Amino acid sequence: MEEFSRFIKLIGNDKFNILKDKKVVIIGIGGVGGYAFEALVRGGISNITIVDYDIIDITNLNRQVITNINNIGRYKVDVAKERALEINRNLNIKVIKEKLNEENVIDIIKGNDYIIDAARDIPIVLANGYLDAPNIYSVMCNDEIAIYNATKLLINNGHRNIVYLYTSRSYSGMNKYSGYMKALKEAAISLPHQYSHLCGKNISHAKEYLNELYDNNIPFDAVVTSDDSLAAGAVKYAHAHSISVPDELEIIGYNNSVLSICTEPELTSIDSHVEQLSTKAVDVLMKVLCGESADKHSIITADIIKRNTTHF
């Protein structure tokens, strides 16, 4: 295994053999998952299962390491597998093109090393996840604070009917939702359930839902989203109804993807610094493996990138 010789010098044969023989499953191979996957492959892990049902689109290019212009329209797991085998041709890799749910989760994770059990032997670093257990470390973006601050800025601009569109009920996804609700609660704003909606990660889904609110005479004057694709859908909705952005409708996206500069007007968006988060996760793991001190829980601070869909 000459390709891993320098890594073995860093951590030693014993630790490398422990890592090499472990079985790992990665759920979601996009932003954070893609960087984590690459680090594991280059770290010599030889049995990896990757699970993702999504297809690469242009909005992924500036923040997902497995993507490039030539693989738009392909399944992320297929592209990731090809990339990994070009790094380690002896890798045993399984791809699953499914969305994780209650029915398939047991079948997907069985045979892999459970996180807490594995942590008894080797350290575990969770990227954008949290588990309070010995020898488990986490690196997270402050998603809740980021959405809270964005929503509060809209409230300070005089908005009271703020729609929140989101794509996931994951740990990160629910933290974002909590930030939205916290800002509303502090401002004594109570909105019907229609003002928050779980969407597919799709421009047209966001536009269609906002059209539904419009058709049902449910007023709204601002939209916060958990992904730039949903914010782009809000811009398209506004154009379709001759609604001026940001004068009549302010819109905030999330991820600061290339899509944020492809709309007119360009999107104000929250930059969650995915690459920085992933780099930090690998840095924590390397420190622990080398016997150095590492933070148990690390937070990456998101920034609001102000463009033309907001007045602040």
Q: How many CA atoms lie within 13 A of 152 on its CB side?
A: 13
What pLDDT, on the 0 to 100 scale, is given for residue 311?
A: 96
Backbone angles phi, psi at 99, to 5 degrees: -90, 130
What pLDDT, on the 0 to 100 scale, is given for residue 105?
A: 53
Q: Please report which helix (H) or strand (E) contains residue 19, including its range.
A: helix 13-21
- 3-class DSSP state of 92: strand
N residues, the chain: 312
Question: Which residue has tokens 């689109």?
Answer: 57
Q: What is the pTM of this model?
A: 0.70
What gap in Å lies between CA 70 and CA 83, rounded to an integer?
A: 13
What gap in Å lies between CA 265 and CA 310, rounded to an integer?
A: 10
Strand order in the sheet with 196-198: 196-198, 162-166, 222-225, 250-254, 268-271, 303-305
Q: Please report which helix (H) or strand (E) contains residue 136, including its range.
A: strand 136-141
- pLDDT averaged per 10 residues, the chain (length 312): 82 81 80 85 88 88 89 94 93 85 55 49 72 82 96 98 92 92 98 94 94 97 97 98 98 95 96 88 80 89 97 93
What gap in Å lies between CA 168 and CA 210, rounded to an integer?
A: 18
How far is C-alpha 137 from the chain's CA centre? 18
Strand 222-225 and strand 162-166: pairing?
parallel
3-state helix, strand, coil in the chain (%, to 5): 45, 20, 40
In 3D space, the residue among 134, 276, 161 whose CA is nearest the CA of residue 224 turns out to be: 161
In 3D space, the residue among 3, 65, 60, 10 whose CA is nearest the CA of residue 36 turns out to be: 65
What pLDDT, on the 0 to 100 scale, is given for residue 135?
A: 80
CB of 119 closer than 8 Å to CB of 134: yes
Strand 23-27 and strand 92-96: pairing?
unpaired
Token pair of 153, please? Answer: 């800025």
